[in-house]
Structure 1
């Protein structure tokens, strides 16, 4: 029997927050056809088109007032979320539907609406990293995860911004249909990697690309392309056409950590991805990430994440199951 999943949208919703998860669940239906795993519907406050932040007009399948029971209520994020919170009639209907849903899911700033739906509950929520302080201030009863891609708090699931909604959807798909199905969906959607909830919303590489000047881009690309090889400040400085001393000083000033500490962060992020998405041995991963030996990888990994690589992989597998 298929699960009924309702996506609540409103004026100034975020298009990717809807399209990403919607396509992820729809892909399961395609892969299982003719069986329908999820019956997907869109819901809004009125029987009129709503306009997304980017200007896309969408006519929902039904209104939240006419909605009875859902297996999963998915609340999409967007600039218009605050207006929804202050609409007492809409919030009353959302509370009724949420109370009868097996899962309540928020994407990005949809967490603000979810927090308002459960004022008496102590929830742990994730949202877009740019809005975590606002969420914590506006809703003191909520524990906000500022870095995690997604979290689960009993029947309430929440994700960080934009593409993190796809990662959360894949995690739910894994719970319902197994990790292999989630992996198939990720491959079908041409995702580079299926990320676990414990991963940060933004990577070290992305942060470096945003923070450092174009002159350093050669060094960043060199790190990414040679992460399995021995790297030194001298090698990286050469890519930026700077002396090692000058390179180290500017890099540390801009990033808040030394070049070699940054390299270690990138290596650990790649190790986490490989642990989650492959069956490679710890020895193989230690070589591919430049640590060279399992003991060194295990020591650095445990120092960073308070769990060794084997335990991290087991935890991820249990989450998927």
Structure 2
């Protein structure tokens, strides 16, 4: 008997979150039919009513069933979208979703669908992934969750969550692998021309020098000031002097605003500046390392890979200009 997959749609959902998951599960069933085997999945779109639902970019989908009529599901999928933060304010909808979730073997969120997952109380004291851009907002909104802003996806018991957009594909393939095995999940990945398991984490996709938008007051321009001196051996006293603070006050204010120590923040800026140089310049890796203040290329490569999940050379291949070598 086919496993029931339900994808919840609501006004302002992200179409890619829905269609990527839908295509992966239906591809598995198409392959089974071609081999004269029963389809492993039956996928349906679920909504509050049977009315057409308009997505964030204007695409309209028709649901197959409503929250009130859906029966037991193998997986309930909660896609993201700009409408997710409004949806969680509607108690009647979240109550109905909670009922469906309790009748589901697994519940999975994609991207900012994590806000819905958290609002249902399903991520209490669990790790949960979301798009890196919304990780801080999610953590502030639901402090009892443990937001993992780097993971492509997180599996915690029967609760699953993924990072932004395409990470939903990684998660869907993981769910299929659990059901049908690694070989079939790999075949589906090949058919869809994607990696079965991507290297790295979400950090490699985040914006370089994101720290500058998270600081204010005297620290507002700290990253810009430090970039001018990154090639030097910068000490905490030097950093405090740049923003006209005592060392003690600087440490305390930095921790209050960023939850990082001076050492952690400096490495973050060095690595994010390296991201930018790898994409926009033709400097060799050794030159990038020196420009960012690392003692050697080996140390730089180890720290870059630890932070972003991929070595600098791979990062440049993925995001750099085609004429960069």
Alignment TM class, shorter chain as reference: 0.5 to 0.7
CA distance in 1, matches of 2:114, 2:295: 32
Quick check: 1:16–1:162 contact (8 Å CA) kept in 2?
yes
CA distance in 2, matches of 1:118, 1:203: 30
Structure 2 gaps of 5+ residues are 209-271, 315-325
DSSP-derived class of the 2:104 partner: coil
With over 3 angstroms needed to count, the CA separation of the structure-2 counterparts of 1:5 and 1:257, relative to structure 1, is: farther
DSSP-derived class of the 2:50 partner: coil
**Residue 215 of structure 1: how far off its partner (Å):** 4.8
The residue aligned with 2:95 is: 92
Equivalent residue for 1:108, pick from 98, 105, 111? 111
**Residue 214 of structure 1: how far off its partner (Å):** 6.4
Mapped pair 1:201 → 2:241: no
Equivalent residue for 1:269, pick from 298, 310, 318? 310
**Residue 205 of structure 1: how far off its partner (Å):** 11
With over 3 angstroms needed to count, the CA separation of the structure-2 counterparts of 1:269 and 1:7, relative to structure 1, is: same
- 1:220-239 matches, cutoff 5 A: 233=286
With normalisation by structure 1, the TM-score equals: 0.68
The residue aligned with 1:26 is: 26
CA distance in 2, matches of 1:210, 1:137: 27
Quick check: 2:80–2:110 contact (8 Å CA) kept in 1?
yes
The residue aligned with 1:252 is: 292
Equivalent residue for 1:38, pick from 38, 41, 49? 41
CA distance in 1, matches of 2:295, 2:90: 46
With normalisation by structure 2, the TM-score equals: 0.67
With over 3 angstroms needed to count, the CA separation of the structure-2 counterparts of 1:108 and 1:195, relative to structure 1, is: same
Quick check: 2:123–2:145 contact (8 Å CA) kept in 1?
no
Equivalent residue for 1:134, pick from 134, 137, 143? 137
Equivalent residue for 2:276, pick from 211, 217, 228? 211
Structure 1 gaps of 5+ residues are 220-230, 234-243, 274-321
Mapped pair 1:9 → 2:9: yes
The residue aligned with 2:222 is: none
CA distance in 2, matches of 1:40, 1:17: 14
Q: How many residues align?
A: 243
Aligned-residue CA RMSD (Å): 3.1
CA distance in 2, matches of 1:139, 1:205: 22
**Residue 262 of structure 1: how far off its partner (Å):** 4.9
The more displaced of 115-124 and 103-112 is: 115-124
With over 3 angstroms needed to count, the CA separation of the structure-2 counterparts of 1:128 and 1:27, relative to structure 1, is: same
